Amino acid sequence: MNPIFAGLPVSVFEVMSALAREHDAVNLGQGFPDDPGPEDVRRKAAEAVVDGWNQYPPMPGIPELRRAIAAHYRHWQGLEFDPDAEIMVTSGATEALAGALLALIEPGDEVVLFQPLYDAYLPLVLRAGAVPRFVRLEPPHWRFDEALLARAFSPKTKVVLFNNPLNPSGTVFGAEDLALLAGFCQRFDAIAVCDEVWEHVIFDGRRHLPLIDVPGMRERTVKIGSAGKIFSLTGWKVGFVCAAPPILRVLAKAHQFITFTTPPNLQAAVAYGLGKADAYFHGMRRDFERSRDRFVGGLRALGFPVLDAQGTYFVNVDLAPLGLNEDDESFCRRLVAEHRVAAIPVSAFYAADPIRSVVRFCFAKRDQTLDAALDRLGGALKRAA
Ligand SMILES: Cc1ncc(COP(=O)(O)O)c(C=O)c1O
């Protein structure tokens, strides 16, 4: 068996979900919304199953969806993509990431990764034969600088895998961060694989800035999106990849032999959804922002030191200033067992040298769920202090 996968321990996500079930806890560990997603988009999918095409769709995705993705990114991010040569539909962002890494990396290449990192990245990078080089981000700002990048990039760097907005920290990187990273990509002739699945889930009037739009990056960036996050339909696993033709051609070869296609009915519904009026997207952001504010207000009232939550479904608390006698994982285990609320220790998102004081909660839940969690969290800090 391959030791990279055989050697992977049971993830903390599985452990926390099992403990949440065992203790009948409010589960704020898992990152999916309570909301069922927009009804019109779900109806389109149902109609497409009943009345539409259910055989293999074209390998790069149905033309309506590729055109809808191009129009969507032109409208929202000012980007121009040729739907026939620069856009491909995949089975979730995860397939897009796996395909991009398999297609771009040769054994021995180096890949720059930012910690905290999404759990799929490292096994995929290692399985593709690359050597990971980590940039370690820290609370409260989770930002990188010239010195951190200089330590990670080398002449062997082939790819930098960049998640913006960043899960788990909820950081939205701005123009200065992107310009710095773009400079390193160009200096070291590296390709940026940009996981932008959270591009629409950003708050307080922020704008998502895609790295592919930074001067010099158009020909060396792979932009990855996910309908699952745009429409709060995380189970759909419809992803998109946008890249210049010489890159996309190679990524398409990987996609051809991983999944080949993605369910055509879901593609049709996503094509419809991407064309929805701006009000839908602003409303979605407002709703999540309201949940964030409700939960953050409650946490602060209980004395939790809450970090800035600029995007994603997550908010983090940094336990360090409280001087508790436990790390993030022990805290989460105690929280689920004694207070019946499940959260995720952020150390799980580090492959090396973890930050051990930060805990992630998902706030994309109904008011009653958030209020129930806050009720239960009442004694959590008092008893530990
Ligand atoms: C950073 C990041 N990338 C990728 C994914 C997975 O996207 P998909 O469900 O489209 O594969 C997630 C899901 O939480 C995520 O947070």
- Over residues 338-343, the mean pLDDT reads 97
Give yes or no for residue 383 having a pLDDT over 70: no
Give yes or no for residue 324 having a pLDDT over 90: no
Give yes or no for residue 194 having a pLDDT over 70: yes
Atom of ligand 1 nearest to the CA of 229: 10
Q: Tell me which residue has its CA closest to atom 16 in ligand 1.
A: 167
Q: Tens digits of per-residue pLDDT, 86-144?
A: 999 999 999 999 999 999 999 999 999 999 999 999 999 999 999 999 999 999 999 99
Residues contacting 85, CB < 8 A, separation 6+:
245, 248
Give, for ligand 1, the residue of 226, 240, 314 to mutate: max count of ligand atoms closer than 8 Å to Cβ.
226
pTM here? 0.97
Tell whether ligand 1 has an atom less than 6 A from the beta carbon of residue 197: yes
Tell me the pairing of strands 341-342 and 191-195: unpaired
- Over residues 70-86, the mean pLDDT reads 98
Please give the share of the chain, as a percent, with pLDDT higher than 70.
Answer: 99
Take residue 165 and report the two structure tokens written for it.
Answer: 């907005």
Tell me the pairing of strands 239-242 and 191-195: unpaired
- What pLDDT, on a 0 to 100 scale, did the predictor assign at position 108? 96
| Mean of the per-residue pLDDT values of the chain | 96
Q: Tens digits of per-residue pLDDT, 158-184?
A: 999 999 999 999 999 999 999 999 999
Q: Tens digits of per-residue pLDDT, 41-76?
A: 999 999 999 999 999 999 999 999 999 999 999 999
Take residue 22 and report the two structure tokens written for it.
Answer: 């065992």
The secondary structure element, H or E, covering residue 296 is helix 278-301
Could you tell me which of 359, 258, 257 has the C-alpha nearest to residue 305?
359
- Over residues 288-297, the mean pLDDT reads 98
Q: Which residue has the tokens 């609320």?
A: 341
